[in-house]
Amino acid sequence: MTIHFVGIDPETDEDGCPTVWVDSATSDLLIQGYEADERTVTQCEALSPARVPIPPGEGIIRVPARMVSIIRKACDELDPGVR
């Protein structure tokens, strides 16, 4: 299996658990987060260089700032030369 777990929100509860995985075959990050509310999505669309709606199959997710170190760890796993 090429996908492996990197970390979970340290303040997770039983209802929601933002999580980060990496896919070593594609070097992709896989991130589970909270769905952004409509106001946030509208603001992101307005700030997009193309200024177009988010297409089907894509979405804006919100990841807690307390997970930055977990995301860095995932990036380091995918690019070990950047340490």
Cβ–Cβ under 8 Å, residues 9 and 64: yes
Q: pLDDT value at position 1?
A: 78
For residue 25, which of 48, 2, 52 has the smallest C-alpha distance? 2
Q: pLDDT value at position 82?
A: 53
In the structure, what pLDDT confidence band is assigned to residue 3 with cuts at 50, 70 and 90? very high
pLDDT in tens, 26-79: 989 999 999 999 999 999 999 988 878 888 999 999 999 999 999 999 999 887
Q: pLDDT value at position 83?
A: 47
Please report which helix (H) or strand (E) contains residue 31, including its range. strand 28-32
Residue matched to tokens 């995301």 = 71
